[in-house]
Amino acid sequence: MVSIWEGGSASSRAPHMAMATTTIEETKNVAIIFGVTGLVGRELARRLLLLEPSWKKVYGIARNPETLPTLIISPCYHFISCNMLNPLETQKKLSCLQDVTHMFWVTWASQFPSETQESCEQNKAMMCNALNTMLSVAKNLKHVSLQTGTKHYISLHPPFDEEKLQFYYYHEEFPRMSKSLNFYYALEDLLMEKLSGKVSWSVHRPGLLFGSSVRSFYNFMGSLCVYGAICKHLRLPFVFGGTRKCWEESYIDGSDARLVADQHIWAAKNSDMISTNGQAFNSINGPSFTWKEIWPIIGKKLEVQVPQEMLVESFWFSKAMAGKEDVWEEIVESDVEGLLCPLSTFSFSSVFAVTI
């Protein structure tokens, strides 16, 4: 369990957050986090609770209930299990949350590939169900914060737009991809339709998220940790599978889930500065990195054998880890926390090593 009352005061653990000025009005802030069990959702909940009394209550919404050992314990925290694709269930479970003042949307429906019509329709329906209820009952709603990502600017699936690949940095006003379906656009358009001229809202676009969550389907660091654990258990070399271009060049923008959460909170607390027509913010750590630079550091941290030839272009994480369920069970028997990382995200890891 993760108790926010352990490990020191708020100021000792998050001084950059604890310095915020508290006013009488701020003490009435109530947050609702859709996707609270995800990489950024968990950090949002922890940080908002650490800011008490600025935030007197936090509602955490997710389809699947939280589990040990990542369960958040606080008298100000209320978890609600809800399938937001079901409009009746959503209305029933959220209609009593009349005290909500700030809404954070850090979730998405992953049933379909992200750049498909089905994904656009499903994600739009899920947010629409939540917005319809919250806008009807939360009369003091001040701000809505939406998280999407840098796929707003470029697709991860071929055929690639070679002209756009010439740009390494994208500003928030960079035009949408004209030839690609993207549920990010559907969600932004929905907020414009529902909130324009009424409630301030912001869009946050992180890169490859680094964080800790047992409920996140796309958990890149979790996948690397599982890969490292299996390499260590079988005494296999910890190699990088991907193209030399991806290995040697800075193609990935990393985003610490904690910093992304901080940006969400900053926008929420400064909603008077944010337009009711929406304002976008890139949410990137800053310095770029190459896998060539950090791979030996990751290997050292995971206590695995890093060979001199770390790059193996014919190696695919998804193929190498296929059929390793029995190996994982052996690891779990000696370390119950091994259950925290699923084996289902190696195809995602391969995407960031090969197709970028």
Q: Catalytic residue positions?
A: 151, 184
Q: What is the DSSP string of 31-55?
A: EEEETTTSHHHHHHHHHHHHTTTSE
- The SS3 assignment for 194 reads helix
What are the residue ranges of helices labelled H in the chain? 10-13, 15-18, 39-50, 87-94, 117-137, 183-195, 220-234, 244-248, 257-269, 291-302, 317-321, 325-334, 346-354
Q: What's the alpha-carbon Rg for the chain, to the nearest Å?
A: 21
Task: State how far the Cα of 321 lies from the Cα of 226, in Å rounded to an integer.
Answer: 9
Q: What is the DSSP letter of 84?
A: T
Cβ burial, residue 341 (10 Å; 0-12/13-18/19+): buried
Q: Between the CA of residue 331 and those of 229, 230, 231, 281, what are the distances in Å?
A: 8, 8, 11, 41
